[in-house]
Copies of this chain bind each other. A is one copy, B any other.
Amino acid sequence: MFIRNTWYVAAWSHEVTDEALFSRTIIGTPVLLYRGSDGHVVALQDRCCHRGAPLSIGRREGDCVRCLYHGLKFDASGVCVEAPAQARIPPQAKVASYPVVERHRWIWIWMGDPALADPATIPDTHWVDDPAWRCLPGYIHYDVNYLLICDNLLDFSHLPFVHPGTLGGPESYASVQPKVERIEGGVRVTRWTMDIKAPPFAAAVKHWPGNVDRWNIYDFTIPGVLLMDSGMAPTGTGAREGARVDAAEFRSCQALTPETETSTHYFFAQPHNFAIDRPEVTRSVHDAIVEAFDEDRAIITAQQRNLSLDPDFKMMAFGIDSALSQFRWTVNQRLEAERAQQAEIKAAEPASGAAQ
């Protein structure tokens, strides 16, 4: 069960090239992505309406795509425009087409009611291609339900334990309670940890003589998007009051896109605004993030195995779970609302038996 009326990240821009047909399964639906001759991304259901073969192993013909099972041809809106051995093509011969917006190197897709797709609600991730910032594109694949990864991202007290050599820093980091506020479609988490050793990934690229004040301030919103202002500045320079003296600043952009009920796509970037003329710094920051996310995946996959062994296991909520409890509540509210809406639409339809 997935929220449908929301923007999901479908791909990095560079994954969808000029020529190729790119396929990715999103909330259980196979999606074909390709660029029209004008460079715009087209997103169609990757399943021919005829016998269900994937269009992505078909053939581009101009801005159209031809299924290479029986030769049906679909235009960029998903309408079947040619069917060999068929003079008249029935109007219902089409595949679903999805609204797509390409912004800051991410391709966003709307899997729900197209009439509700408002590009203005796409989260701002401009740091990813802002010339004042630098980052590398990241993607990893998980064999777990996306909510377990949301849980992980909504509780940073795991940092010193799961990531001691990368994002972590001292274990005292975990003893600071973050501030959690409800925001539209999610939560805002604010955590200041004062006068601590800098975490390894930052210490590797930025040298401070002593301890730092560290902040992690992020919005985590439906369907699973994390946008974070984070960084460290030397203790005593007033970072908490707004100064950013000799600071290392990051604007992490992360997005979870469910593939199926048991697998997830994870897109991420970690833009920084210092040393932007030193690609080795950008690479070092990126590599540390990838290493850390592999650590997350290892423990979450082990957690998933334990949950599978005993579906009756009830997790025990601690104080640190406040953000994730609120987020899961928000998800359930949205799912419930979409279910109610669907039921209403169905009730409003004339009975199909009577109509025919």
Q: Which residues in A have some Cβ–Cβ distance to B below 8 Å?
A: 25, 28-30, 46-47, 49-54, 57, 66-71, 83-86, 90, 92-93, 151, 155, 157-158, 160-162, 171, 174-177, 260, 298-299, 302-303, 305-307, 309-310, 313, 315-316, 318-320
Contacts and interface: CB of A to CB of B under 8 A. Distances in A.
A85 B177 CA distance: 6
A169 B310 CA distance: 45
25 contacts: A29-B310, A46-B306, A47-B313, A50-B315, A50-B318, A51-B303, A52-B306, A52-B313, A53-B299, A53-B306, A54-B303, A54-B305, A57-B298, A68-B161, A68-B299, A69-B299, A70-B155, A70-B158, A70-B320, A84-B157, A84-B320, A85-B318, A85-B319, A86-B319, A93-B318
A155 to B, nearest CB: 7
A318 B65 CA distance: 19
Contact of A161 (B30, B71, B303): B71
A52 B317 CA distance: 11
Given A52-B306, A52-B313, A302-B57, A86 B318 contact: yes
B171 A71 contact: yes
User: Among the interface residues A30, A54, A70, A160, which one has the most CB atoms of the partner chain B within 10 A?
Assistant: A70
A296 to B, nearest CB: 10
A313 B51 CA distance: 10
Contact of A309 (B29, B57, B92, B298): B29
Contacts of A70: 155, 157-158, 161, 174, 318, 320
Nearest to A176: B85
A298 B320 CA distance: 49
Contacts of A320: 70, 84-86
Contacts of A309: 25, 28-30, 260
Given A29-B310, A57-B299, A157-B71, A316 B50 contact: yes
Contacts of A93: 316, 318
A112 B335 CA distance: 40
Given A71-B160, A302-B54, A309-B28, A171 B84 contact: yes
Contacts of A68: 161-162, 299
User: Among the interface residues A46, A69, A176, which one has the most CB atoms of the partner chain B within 10 A?
Assistant: A69
User: Among the interface residues A53, A162, A176, A260, which one has the most CB atoms of the partner chain B within 10 A?
Assistant: A53
A93 to B, nearest CB: 6
Nearest to A46: B306
Contacts of A46: 306
A51 B84 contact: no
